[in-house]
Amino acid sequence: MTTSLIGALERGLAQRRASGRWRVRRTLASPQGPGAIVDGVPVVAFASNDYLGLANDPAVIEAAREGAARWGVGAGASHLVCGHQVPHADLERELAAYVAPCPGAQALLMGSGYLANLAIVAALVGRGDAVFADRLNHACLNDAALLARADLVRYPHLDADALAQRLAASRAPRRLIATDAVFSMDGDVAPLARLLELAQAHDAWLVVDDAHGFGVLGDGRGSVAAAGLASERIVTMGTLGKAAGVAGAFVAAHPAVVETIVQSARPYIYSTAAPALLACALRASLAAIRDGHERRARLAARIAQFRAGAQDLPWTLLPSSTPIQPLIVGGDAEVVALSLALLARGVFVPAIRPPTVPEGTARLRISLSAAHEAADVDRLLDALHDAQRAPA
Ligand SMILES: *Cc1c(COP(=O)(O)O)cnc(C)c1O
């Protein structure tokens, strides 16, 4: 007999299914790459954040293999107990030199971008302080304010004037501005120079979540470098599972910020270090990012090709110059139908629905990669035009 606890969950799940918000995990029988096998079907995939095609790169795979042979497969403990090994330390030094948001910056590896944001915010603000957040920030920056027990003050997307008003009205002893650098579901870019001016004017931290900029923008160094900025109040978070193709994340900031996270941030202290073999893979990946001019040029060409070919589609293409190219469809059921229509034509583009994006803005999130050939993008454009004429 089903308990009332299970019964309550099953009613909640049934409601979700009825509301068109049901999420399914598709299973890939292939590495990440344009030629994926999704639920047993070969497709051209425009779904992953593997913007430079490093997730299945032979040199990165070989570095992981050698790393496993040299260091084993498990880190054994948290960084503060005994999990911090030579490849972690080497990678941190290389990331600090490459990304440095201020002179003398240090870098700190974290298990994931989600954990990194929790750690940064909790280390810098607490109860009674305020986190100022763009309304379209990634969910984990909002969760970070909750963990820190700080007040969360959201401002309209990209609206620096509205942010300035909120900062001026705040009496919080410590303030922190948090923003995605490249917005994950929109592909547009935060006005970082203006945000830094406001941070200076109001003595606030500026936390830049560069999950989608690191490796791609600023010739690889990320969004802060692309904007030509450097400041001790900037804390950059970069993820290592997207353009870098592996897993994990890092914080790059003034050494006092990094040391405060090491000493006090619970998501850092109470979590097992990632295996050293991943740090080995990431050193190879970072080398490919540093020398990645060709990959980035190929990516830029695919973005331009897609945008040129998508202008006459009936859905709204958001103004994005990054690999994230959203087509706003509107309704939940419509976007799911369109995604399925593309899948029937051998093209995989995920449908993104609320609450990940605001109500009424369900969309296809088309994600381009240097691994795509021009013919792959043509295939996507053909499938979109075809699906428009003959909806599934
Ligand atoms: C993916 C993402 C994260 C989380 O990073 P993970 O390493 O996947 O945990 C954080 N912020 C943004 C903007 C992201 O897109």
**pLDDT tens digits along 71-98:** 999 999 999 999 999 999 999 999 999 9
What is Dmax (Cα atoms) for the chain?
A: 64
Instruction: Tell whether ligand 1 has an atom less than 6 A from the beta carbon of residue 226.
Output: no
Domain spanning 58-290, CATH architecture: 3-Layer(aba) Sandwich (3.40)
pLDDT for 1 equals 66
Is residue 242 among the annotated active site residues? yes
**pLDDT tens digits along 9-32:** 999 999 999 887 888 899 999 999
Instruction: Tell whether ligand 1 has an atom less than 6 A from the beta carbon of residue 211.
Output: yes
Note if the bond before 355 is cis, omega within 30 degrees: yes
297, containing H or E segment: helix 293-310
**pLDDT tens digits along 220-258:** 999 999 999 999 999 999 999 999 999 999 999 999 999
Contact (Cβ atoms closer than 8 angstroms) between residue 101 and residue 128: no
pLDDT for 392 equals 47
pLDDT for 277 equals 98
pLDDT for 202 equals 98
**Alpha carbon distance 385, 130 (integer Å):** 47
Instruction: Tell whether ligand 1 has an atom less than 6 A from the beta carbon of residue 352.
Output: no
Q: What angle do CA 352, 236, 85 make, to 5 degrees?
A: 105
Residue 326 has pLDDT above 60, yes or no: yes
Instruction: Tell whether ligand 1 has an atom less than 6 A from the beta carbon of residue 285.
Output: no
Instruction: Tell whether ligand 1 has an atom less than 6 A from the beta carbon of residue 184.
Output: yes
In the chain, the percentage of residues whose pLDDT exceeds 70 is 99
- Of 110, 141, 236, 239, the residue with max ligand 1 atoms within 8 A of its CB, to mutate for a pocket test, comes to 239
Q: Residues 48, 112, 184, 223: which is the catalytic one?
A: 184
Residue 212 has pLDDT above 60, yes or no: yes
**pLDDT tens digits along 88-140:** 999 999 999 999 999 999 999 999 999 999 999 999 999 999 999 999 999 99
Residue 263 has pLDDT above 70, yes or no: yes
Residue 372 has pLDDT above 50, yes or no: yes
Q: Residues 88, 138, 212, 372: which is the catalytic one?
A: 212
Residue nearest to atom 3 of ligand 1 (CA): 113
Instruction: Tell whether ligand 1 has an atom less than 6 A from the beta carbon of residue 140.
Output: yes
SS3 percent helix, strand, coil of the chain, rounded to 5, is 45, 20, 40
Sketch the domain layout of the chain as residue ranges: 26-52+292-389, 58-290
How many alpha carbons lie under 13 Å from residue 277 in its C-beta half-sphere?
Answer: 14
Is residue 202 among the annotated active site residues? no
**pLDDT tens digits along 161-188:** 999 999 999 999 999 999 999 999 999 9
Mean pLDDT of the chain: 96
Q: What is the DSSP letter of 82?
A: I
In the chain, the percentage of residues whose pLDDT exceeds 90 is 95
Ligand 1 centroid–CA 239 distance in Å is: 6
Contact (Cβ atoms closer than 8 angstroms) between residue 87 and residue 257: no
**Alpha carbon distance 104, 93 (integer Å):** 11
- Of 121, 138, 179, the residue with max ligand 1 atoms within 8 A of its CB, to mutate for a pocket test, comes to 138
Tell me what the mean pLDDT of segment 301-325 comes to. 97
Tell me the C-alpha to C-alpha distance, in Å, between residue 174 and each of 49, 146, 150, 206, 283. Answer: 34, 15, 9, 12, 36
Q: What is the DSSP letter of 197?
A: H
CATH number of 26-52+292-389: 3.90.1150.10
Three-class SS of residue 215? Answer: coil
Q: Matching CATH topology for 26-52+292-389 and 58-290?
A: no
Instruction: Tell whether ligand 1 has an atom less than 6 A from the beta carbon of residue 204.
Output: no
**Alpha carbon distance 376, 182 (integer Å):** 24
**Alpha carbon distance 152, 178 (integer Å):** 10
**pLDDT tens digits along 214-227:** 999 999 999 999 99
pLDDT for 389 equals 78
Antiparallel, parallel or unpaired: β 362-367 and 324-330: antiparallel
How far the first Cα of the chain sits from its last, in Å, is: 41
b/e sequence 282-297, b meaning 16+ C-beta within 10 Å: bbbbbebbeebeebbe
